[in-house]
Amino acid sequence: MSLIANIVGFSLFGLAARVGQLGIQKRPLFDNPIGHAVAMGTFGFAGYWAYQWDQRAAVLLAAKRAEIAERREKAEGASST
């Protein structure tokens, strides 16, 4: 998933959460558009953070898999001798 898609998806979820909140409170949806922008910005930042976390986790997992493969290779070489 790309960075932009992640940010936009989280931002739209933030907008939906804000609209849902106002619906529960039975307040007008377009009364305070700044609140919508704040919710979208906050959730968009969460989407950016989640994307960065996912990228970092993928790098760590790849390094760990390479390390495990190297250990297995050494163990196979030692046991066959």
pLDDT tens-digit readout, 52-64 = 999 999 999 999 9
Q: What is the mean pLDDT of the chain?
A: 93
Look at residue 36 and give its three-state secondary structure.
helix
User: Which residues form the domain of 18?
Assistant: 3-80
| Rounded average pLDDT over 8-35 | 94
Q: Round to whole Å and give the CA distance between 16 and 24.
A: 12
* Structural domain count of the chain: 1
pLDDT bin (cut points 50, 70, 90) of residue 41 is very high
8 Å CB contact between 42 and 66? no
